[in-house]
Amino acid sequence: MPIIRDPQEYNEDDLYVDLGPALGLPLHLKCEGFNFTGSIKLKAAAEMIAAAERSGQLTEDSVLVESSSGNLGVALSTIAANKGYRFLCVTDSRCNLVTKQLMEALGSTVHTVNEPDPEGGFLGARLRYVREVCAADSCYLWLNQYANPANWQAHHRITAPAIAERFPELDVLFVGAGTTGTLMGCARYFREHRPEVRIVAVDAVGSVTFGGEPRPRMIPGLGTGVRPALLDESYVDDVVLVAEADTIRTCHRLARRGFLFGGSTGTVVSGAADWFAEHGAPATAVAIAPDLGERYLDSVYQHSWVRQIYGSDVLETGARAGGARSSKSLH
């Protein structure tokens, strides 16, 4: 076992779940939730903070500020606490209560936006608040995960090479699209080193990232109300959109086999199943699971919450959100 001095030094980067026995899918799930921040966002947070330190933008007098639906906020809170920085996380009412409590326990300040922007949704409202804070006081430093190249560079440097080494015969990689940092880092790496690997982005119905019509979304993690500046669709081969009801069903199916994952993972696995149904099963496929499920016990795994949002029959065996998902090829 390693001996570490800083929480960001530890991340289990080589754990995969074969979903054949659990779900009957020819898919290996890369589990990113085993570190001190509980999600893949540790990599982006560490990379963005290190870049800001190298550039001289981040000093002991700075106050970090970032918009986050949850996981990046926890990752930044952890590193900020370790390094002695102050941090303000701007989130919204969809953020899980336990996630807010984690950030506050680590010494961060959490501001919750309760009203969506008429055009940009909750993300647009969060970004507006961040800009207002930075304009009012120059000590605030916005890392801007939606446009910061260090976000995708973390996955180009760490995540994608780890997958490539573990699966030298990889055919298809499924990546959820949020800020698109993970997606762009992995897609750029494989375009450069293994261009035969097909990159499939998985997004939520109601997200505008790939030009979809905006709709209310209740599960944090994937999807945006404002198109991320990091996204370059030329690196993506296919896009699959998944309805949140199907995300819920997939999470519960996994939980019934002992695998408790977060909502983003349910979306990505559901999207992979839909892609297999349309294109056939490749020899080797991998999907990235950003986090685990404990932070979603009061939402995704709370039956009363699920029934209130998605209807009383959402968890019935075999039920699907007919017509609510779609896919498209970009090349």
Q: What is the pLDDT of residues 248-260, one digit of tens each?
A: 999 999 999 999 9
List the structure tokens of 299: 């939402």
Backbone dihedral angles phi then psi of residue 200, each to the nearest 5 degrees: -115, 120
Q: Are residues 281 and 177 in the same domain?
A: yes
**Is 35 in contact with 58 (CB distance < 8 Å)?**
no
Calpha distance 270→268 (Å, rounded): 5
Are 119 and 252 in a shared domain? Answer: no
Same domain, 207 and 309: yes
Q: What does the pLDDT profile of the chain (331 residues) look like in tens digits? A: 689 999 999 999 999 999 999 999 999 999 999 999 999 999 999 999 999 999 999 999 999 999 998 999 999 999 999 999 999 999 999 898 999 999 999 999 999 999 988 888 898 999 999 999 999 999 999 999 999 999 999 999 999 999 999 999 999 999 999 999 999 999 999 999 999 999 999 999 999 999 999 998 999 889 988 899 999 999 999 999 999 999 999 999 999 999 999 999 999 999 999 999 999 999 999 999 999 999 999 999 999 999 999 998 888 755 454 334 566 777 6
Integer Cα distance of 220 and 225 in angstroms = 12
Domain assignment present for residue 12? The answer is yes
Residues 77 and 116 in one domain: yes
Of the candidates 72, 74, 95, the one whose C-alpha atom is nearest the C-alpha of residue 217 is: 95
Backbone angles phi, psi at 140, to 5 degrees: -80, 135
Residue 245 placed within a domain? yes
- List, in sequence order, every beta strand (DSSP E) within the chain: 16-18, 28-31, 63-67, 86-92, 109-113, 140-142, 172-176, 198-204, 238-242, 285-289, 326-329
User: Does residue 94 sit in the same domain as residue 223?
Assistant: no
Are 210 and 323 members of one domain? yes
* Helix H or strand E encompassing 245: helix 244-255
Residue 82 structure tokens: 């370790």
What pTM was computed for the model? Answer: 0.94
Helix, strand, or coil (residue 124): helix
The pLDDT score that the predictor gives to residue 324 is 45
The domain in which residue 111 lies consists of: 41-142
The pLDDT, as a whole number, for residue 323 is 38
User: What pLDDT score does 325 carry?
Assistant: 52
Number of domains comprising the chain: 2
> Domain check: are 60 and 168 in the same one?
no
Does residue 1 lie within any of the structural domains? Answer: no
User: Rounded to an integer, what distance in angstroms lies between the CA atom of residue 309 and that of residue 305?
Assistant: 6
Same domain, 121 and 168: no
Decide which of 142, 175, 201 is a domain's last residue.
Answer: 142
Q: Name the domain boundary from 103, 123, 142.
A: 142
Same domain, 128 and 210: no
What pLDDT is attached to residue 319? 47
Q: How many CA atoms lie within 13 A of 157 on its CB side?
A: 10
pLDDT at 321: 40
Q: What is the DSSP string of 62-110?
A: -EEEEE-SSHHHHHHHHHHHHHT-EEEEEEETTS-HHHHHHHHHTT-EE
**CATH code, 51:** 3.40.50.1100
Q: Are residues 77 and 60 in the same domain?
A: yes
**Residue 2 belongs to some domain of the structure:** no
Pairing of β 28-31 and β 16-18? antiparallel
Q: What pLDDT score was predicted for residue 119?
A: 84
Torsion angle of alpha carbons 290, 291, 292, 294, nearest 10°? -140
Query: What tokens does 212 get?
Result: 């979809």
Residues 176 and 305 in one domain: yes
- Show which of 94, 125, 142 is a domain's final residue: 142
Both 237 and 309 in one domain: the answer is: yes
